[in-house]
Structure 1
Amino acid sequence: MKKIISGCLSLLCCSGLLFSSGLLFSSGLYAQNKLELLNEPALESQLASKSVLLNMIAHDGGYIAVGERGHIIDWKTPEQWSQFAVPVSVTITDVSKLANGDLVAVGHDAVILLFKQESQEWIKVFDGYSLTDLLITSLGKQIEAQELRLESLPPDASKYDEEYYLEDLQFALEDAQKEKEAGPNKPLLSVITADNGTVFATGAYGTLLQSKDNGQTWEFINNRVDNESKFHLNAITKDANGNLFIVGENAVAAKSSDNGESWERMDLSYNGSFFGIEASPNSDHLVAFGLQGHIAVSDDSGENWVLLPKSLSISFLGGTIDENGTAYLVGHGGLILTFPLTNPENQSIYKHPSGSTFASVMLTSDKQLVLAGQLGIKRWTIGN
């Protein structure tokens, strides 16, 4: 169910979220508010389209945008938009389409929501409590396997490394059990559907989940990506050939050519964090972007990457690539960077008159930008 809200609305100041981290964690929200936001429906607000919105997808002639306080918006124009009824009040960070036409959204406290086309409503299917249970089960199986491995070693074999690994697993299990008592704390940050219909969600502390039943149930698959330090997995995307790509904190970057069954690490020539990755709809080009203006491009489906000279020192939080191979990147201060992927050093810089931070960008059929971020959704003709 949703209610149409129209008219010119006043702006909402977003003091509750931090854009500088790229992860958009709430600043002290849970410490200050004992309300169980995973079970508290999002409040209907006439300011919802002006609130912090973090991601969006094209849908039914408009856009579905997600953001703070559980806001999910069906946006057509500034004058015509609607707010969905949502069963949680945590920040929603990403939204994607499923193979069956339904929608999936992910957010803070590892929440996963499904939108059923038949019922036209959002339902919660997963959250941080479920994630912790999966982690505890996974660690228990790993500990059992490692103990059996130690028992099978010859008496004269060196066991130091194997015993050290077992201790690491045991400490991780203790941490997970404490987390279950304290409550969820891991945000999910990105979600995508592979060509075979498998759904993948990435998140903080190396979280990687998959679903093979259109989001109904989820499996913990963190160990498929080489990420021993559990760096944040900030974004996942898919290219025209069906390859999957993940980028994240501290240069974590990985590619899968088999619908996520296996992953190989990529070298993006920068040891810092990338917050997003976009694939060209009509070629093998990719662009990854992130901290302090760092941008890496690939023209061979992620096999090789080139780090571009920095044009801006802002962090890029969102991007898109049009059908002609032009990239559009957005981030802090209302700045927008565009360049053709075939000549990425030929760059143009624009600034939205609001000067606000944007986290997502899309293009309309008439080449206008639709921008989502700190002050909600803005539609803008570039350069005007």
Structure 2
Amino acid sequence: MQRRQLLLAGFGAMAAGGPASADDLLDRPARPSALADKRLITGIARAGQRLVAVGQRGHVVVSDDGGRRWIQAGVPVSVDLTAVYFADERNGYATGHDGVVLGSRNGGDSWTRLLDGRQANALVLAQMERRAAAPGATEQDGKLLDEARRNSESGPDKPFLDVFFVDADHGFVVGAYGLVLRTMDGGRNWESWFDRVDNPGLLNLYAVRAAGGAHYIAGEAGLLLKLERGGERFRALPAPGKGSFFGLLATLAGVLGVGMRGSAFLSTDDGASWAAIATGLSASVVGGAVAADGTVVLIDQGGGIVLSRDGGRSFAASGLRSQMPLATVAFSGNAALALGGPRGLRTLELTAKDKP
């Protein structure tokens, strides 16, 4: 998990008073902190005109002035959070360590726990027990059942790494070792898709997004998946390379996958083929965003920033560079960027040549 070594500082979150168990962190609300926007930030999303950022120790902060001032939100857990997505200006979802999924119905002002690793383990195990006992069960079903049993025995220690909702009710979360869960009712109920993914090696799944009406998942070792037309299974796509993908973006040109060593691959034919795109970035691309006018921004771990005006077909070096390592980015309007990383949040105005 190369990306997570930088972004999440390990899988064992530490509370201020010393080591804490997963159960402690899952049941302990995030502590108010004046430094919430100055610590590790792993995800930023737009909720209408608002910015919402998530990060270390269950911290969620919101900004209504383009990222100049951040206010901490109430969160019921203290685990490190990994990603955030808003289906609209009110309904948002966040994922985190220990199998956490959070939901907000008020634009990020407050959050409720929708799922945790204890519940996720039970869901996956029950599903695989039914599957393995059903007529026509395969050897792979047995292997997945064994893995589900091991996960259940080890406790709620697997993180979800990304989240996407097509609307307020329908969404997927993906994570470590092939975890995929779906909800059809805004997170009130969840369904395990552990056995509905072409991922026999149980590779880590880093990103999930929809583009052109189709859902895609990207992960380790060049893994790319697309939800089949019937909507019942994620099928593997031809891999354009062996490097891990850390993000997916829906652009005006198609779907863009980004990952190791500055790599980006664009598909303009619904995932049938992928073309390598020169980004000019040298470190791993760990984040990206698409503005309302279609402008695409990519960032790398080292603070590099590049922009595309043609849907990701080509990228030009911007007049910007972050002075800190980066983990996530969002547009703050069309003329500024909100950036997050190990040192918290920053905003950068686009230079004259980079503005639309």
Is 1:304 aligned with 2:273? yes
Specify the SS of the correspondent of 1:230: coil
1:24 paired to 2:8: yes
Please say if 1:175 is aligned against 2:164: no
2:50 is aligned with 1:62? yes
Task: Tell me, yes or no, if structure 1 residue 139 matches structure 2 residue 125.
Answer: no
Cross-structure match for 2:237: 266
Cα distance in 2 for partners of 1:38, 1:82 equals 22
Structure 1 residues 120 and 144: CA distance shift in structure 2, 3 A: same
The separation in 2 between residues aligned to 1:259 and 1:358, in whole angstroms, is 38
Aligned counterpart for 2:217 among listed residues 240, 243, 246: 246
Q: How many Å apart are 1:39 and its aligned residue?
A: 0.7
Pair 25,221 (structure 1): closer, same or farther in 2 beyond 3 Å: farther
Distance in 1 separating the partners of 2:121 and 2:83: 21
The residue type equivalent to 2:179 in the other structure is T
Please tell me the root mean square deviation across aligned C-alpha atoms, in Å: 3.0
Q: If you compute each CA radius of gyration, which structure gives the higher value, 1 or 2?
A: 1
Out of 59, 64, 74, the residue aligned to residue 62 of structure 2 is: 74
The aligned residue for residue 373 of structure 1 is: 341
Unmatched segments (≥5 aa) in structure 1: 1-16, 151-161
CA distance change for structure 1 residues 25 and 208 in 2, over 3 Å: closer, same or farther? farther
3-state secondary structure, aligned to 2:287: strand
* In structure 2, C-alpha distance between the alignment counterparts of 1:268 and 1:173, rounded to whole Å: 27
Letter of the structure 2 residue corresponding to residue 74 of structure 1: V
- The alignment's TM-score, normalised by the length of structure 1, stands at 0.81
Say whether the 8 Å CA contact 2:159–2:175 is kept in structure 1: yes
Which residue identity lines up with residue 372 of structure 1 in the other structure? G
CA deviations 1:198-252 (Å, max 9, x no partner) are: 211111111111011111111101222211111111011122x322111111111
Q: CA deviation at 1:60?
A: 4.6
Instruction: Judge which range, 308-317 or 23-32, deviates more.
Output: 23-32
Q: How does 1:1-384 map to 2 (within 5 A)?
A: 19=3, 21=5, 24=8, 26=10, 28-29=12-13, 33-35=19-21, 36-77=24-65, 79-98=68-87, 101-117=90-106, 121-145=110-134, 148-149=135-136, 165=140, 168-169=143-144, 171-179=146-154, 183-194=155-166, 197-239=169-211, 241-256=212-227, 258=229, 260-280=231-251, 283-309=252-278, 311-341=280-310, 344-354=313-323, 356-383=324-351
Q: 1:195–1:259: 8 Å Cα contact kept in structure 2?
A: no
Unaligned runs of 5+ residues in structure 2 are: none
Distance 1:373 1:309 in 2: 24
> Relative to structure 1, is the Cα distance of residues 169 and 116 closer, same or farther in structure 2, using a 3 angstrom cutoff?
closer
Q: Which amino acid aligns with 2:153?
A: K
Separation in 1 of the partners of 2:45 and 2:140?
42
Cα displacement string for residues 148-183 of structure 1 (whole angstroms, at most 9, x for unaligned residues): 548xxxxxxxxxxx6x5575355335413422xxx2
> Secondary structure of 2:333's match?
coil
**Cα offset, 1:38, TM superposition:** 0.6
User: Shift of the alpha carbon at 1:116?
Assistant: 2.8
For the residues of structure 1 that align with 2:141 and 2:194, how far apart are their CA atoms?
17
Question: How many residues get paired?
Answer: 347
Counterparts of 2:160 and 2:4 in 1: how far apart (Å)? 17
Amino acid at match of 2:143: D
CA–CA distance in structure 1, aligned partners of residues 158 and 301 of structure 2: 24
SS in 2 for 1:121: coil
Q: Deviation of residue 194 (structure 1)?
A: 2.4
Is the alpha carbon distance of 1:369 and 1:260 closer, same or farther for their aligned partners in structure 2, counting shifts above 3 Å?
farther
Name the CA distance, whole Å, in 1 between partners of 2:142 and 2:322.
55
Calculate the TM-score normalised by the size of structure 2: 0.87
The sequence identity of aligned pairs, in percent, is 28
SS at match of 1:37: helix
Q: Distance in 2 between matches of 1:279 and 1:352?
A: 24
Superposed CA offset, 1:304-361 (max 9, x none): 211234633301110012344432111212111223446734531555352x222221
CA contact (8 A) 2:13 2:79 kept: no
Which has the higher mean CA deviation after the structures are superposed, 329-338 or 119-128? 119-128
